[in-house]
Every structure is written in structure tokens, then in C-alpha cells.
Amino acid sequence: MRAIRHKDTSPEMLVRRVLTQMRYRYRLHVKSLPGKPDLVFLQRRKIVLVHGCFWHQHSCPEGRKPLSNSDYWEPKLTGNVKRDVRHAKELKALGFDVMVIWDCETKNEGDVARRLRKFLGPKHREWDARLKRKKAPRTNATGD
């Protein structure tokens, strides 16, 4: 159990790579917010959570509960789901929109990028304008 990481997982790294390629800027694991969300977009008031299907009990085949040692796993996994719901409610009460990306959804990078762009909206207007603006040709100060 100690070897299970709660941050910098491969699905989270994929989402971060996609966001960086799309030129979105974010903060990681903000301790002042409930649950230390994975990716925080403070100016947009949006949060992206990257959940493992098993640990957070997604409805896909990877999210099924183990058949052995159910006395141990049942309360642990149920507690994770309850905590996720509680943190999402607290974040929404603070004015954030929350999006969950599941581990099984990260298999297709293009789908992840489309969902993120739809959720986050257009990039900052000033940044887009700077990219579109053509540089004026430089003139020599001596007039040559």
C-alpha cells in the first residue's frame, strides 16, 4: 500500500502533458483547498481531478471491488467515494467547477484534450491575441 502514489501518477502526468501542450497554466495539489485537488485553475475557478478507477470506484471493469478480504476493502473504498463527494461539494461551495477524469478515460489522449478544452473554455484572450499578432519588421535605427 505504501507503494501506491497519490500524486504524479501516469494518468495525472498524461493530463498534465496534454494541458501543457494546449498552453493552459495550472497549479498542482493546492493544500489550501479541500482534498488538495490535482490540477487547479484559480482564475478560471475550475478544478480537474484525476481518479484511479479502482481506488475511487468507477463503474468501469477496472473499478470493481476485490472478492477476497472484503471486510478490509469495502469500508476503505466506500470511504474514498464518500470523501470524494464531500470534497467536490466543498469545492463547489467555494465557487469552483469540478471535472473528474478517470484512469480508464486516459487511454485516448485526443478525447482527453477535447474534454479538457470543452471544460476549461478558450485560453486567455490576451495570450491568443499575442500569438496571432504578427511581429512588425524591425528597422535599423541608423536608417540604412
Secondary structure (H, E, C), 41-72 = ECCCCEEEEEECCCCCCCCCHHHCCCCCCHHH
Beta carbons of 19 and 39 less than 8 angstroms apart = yes
Amino acid in the structure at residue 6 = H
* Residue 31: predicted pLDDT: 94
Beta bridge partners of 101: 50
For range 6-11, the mean pLDDT: 81
The predicted model scores a pTM of 0.79
Average pLDDT over residues 37-52: 94
Q: How far is CA 107 from CA 11, 57, 78, 93, in A?
A: 9, 18, 26, 32
| Residue spans per domain, the chain | 10-123
Minimum mean pLDDT among 24-28, 59-63, 84-88: which range?
A: 59-63
pLDDT value of position 115: 95
Q: For 10-123, CATH number?
A: 3.40.960.10
How much is the pLDDT for 132? 57
